[in-house]
Amino acid sequence: MTEKYLVTGASGYIASWIVNFLLRQGQTVHGTVRSLSDTKKISHLLDLKKKYPDHLTLFEADLLRKESFRKAMEGCTTILHTASPFFITRIKDPQKELIGPALEGTRNVLTLAGEFPQIKRIVVTSSVAAIYSDAVDIYRAKKNMFDETMWNTTSNAQYNPYQYSKTLAEKEAWKIAESQQQWELVTIAPGFVMGPSLSKRVDSTSINTMQSLINGKYRTGAPDLWFGVVDVRDVAKAHILAATQQEAAGRYICVGHGVSILGMARILRDHFPKRPIPRSTIPKILLYLVGPLMGFSWKFLNLNYGIEYNFDNTRSIKLGVKYHALKDTLIDHAEQLIRDGLV
């Protein structure tokens, strides 16, 4: 049976893949974007609309205006709420740029859903940022792995404000979900998302990171930082499983592989030997000098540098997520950027 799905932030890196997979399955999608006239941001969605003219409708909506989601919500049975600002550097006003839109947006979309009784499930894109703030938090994890029982308790508006925005937004989502009985909430907590983009946009933090890895930004050495990486296609599929599997419930960490920046660089260097990809890490002492220029504060370096960690992804695998090999994610991503002339 085909269903109607509302995908908020449809033009984003992750959401574009969700829309693409839903359309391929024959489903109908209402996608919200900030501006229908910004063809640069939405041209890949307009291409999908040409391919699936009866199955994709785009609407304008802004996270800070609850009413702007009303039209898009009409007739939908499921919401995938992905829209939320995602950037971690060059933040001037954390409240206005990150916390307000993340929190208000979640509140607006989830409370408006209560006015549409046919809506039975809402999937919210959270993040592992709602689970931990810094690598050092691994020392309070059971089995040396982050899992879904944990919450980020140390970010705030001044320190790691993106992480704070995601923590507040997911907590708010659970609070609203528990105050009603009409719809069920499932949250997806991706790690750092990489893999090919369906658009040529470069304003996503995920895309910037891959650009930096292969365009020489770290040629003198990579910071010794660890990540939980996941393929964007796996994240999109996890959202769809969360939306469609009856038994889906609660939080799902969505991370395929724990890896350092240098570990990613090694894989990329083997495949692109002529590119200025880092061969070593920058010593911590040197990073104290250049870190602030690269967007890393001393506090961040102290709590993260050189600390290895991992994630328990058992629940997502039980739900049906099959993770791409890390090599495929990284190479597919780099090849897409090269093909699209973005590095």
Q: What is the CA radius of gyration of the chain?
A: 19
Nearer to ligand NAP, 221 or 336 (CB): 336
**Minimum separation from the CB atom of position 84 to ligand NAP (A):** 3
Catalytic residue among 4, 41, 49, 166: 166
Nearer to ligand NAP, 188 or 301 (CB): 188
Task: Give Cα separations from 282 to 210, 218, 222, 262, 307 (angstroms).
Answer: 18, 9, 6, 10, 14
Nearest residue to ligand NAP, scored by beta-carbon proximity: 12
Site residues, ligand NAP (CB under 6 A): 9, 11-15, 33-34, 41, 62-64, 82-86, 101, 125, 127, 166, 190, 192-193, 204, 206
**Minimum separation from the CB atom of position 189 to ligand NAP (A):** 7
What three-state secondary structure class fits 93? coil
Q: Which residue has the tokens 């269903």?
A: 3
**Minimum separation from the CB atom of position 12 to ligand NAP (A):** 3
On the 0-12 / 13-18 / 19+ scale of CB atoms within 10 A, 181 is exposed
CB of 253 closer than 8 Å to CB of 318: no
* CA dihedral angle for residue 87, residue 13, residue 209, residue 94, rounded to 10 degrees: 0
Phi, psi (degrees; rounded to nearest 5) at 230: -145, 145
Nearer to ligand NAP, 13 or 116 (CB): 13
Whether 166 is catalytic is: yes
Task: Write the DSSP string, 99-148.
Answer: IHHHHHHHHHHHHHHTT-TT--EEEEE--GGGT-SSGGGGGGSGGGEE-T
Tokens describing residue 103:
């929190």
Nearer to ligand NAP, 34 or 71 (CB): 34
**Minimum separation from the CB atom of position 254 to ligand NAP (A):** 8
CB of 106 closer than 8 Å to CB of 79: no
Nearer to ligand NAP, 9 or 291 (CB): 9
List the one residue out of 99, 94, 49, 59 whose CA is nearest residue 79.
59
CB of 75 closer than 8 Å to CB of 57: no
Nearer to ligand NAP, 96 or 219 (CB): 96
Q: What is the DSSP letter of 89?
A: S
Active site amino acids: 166
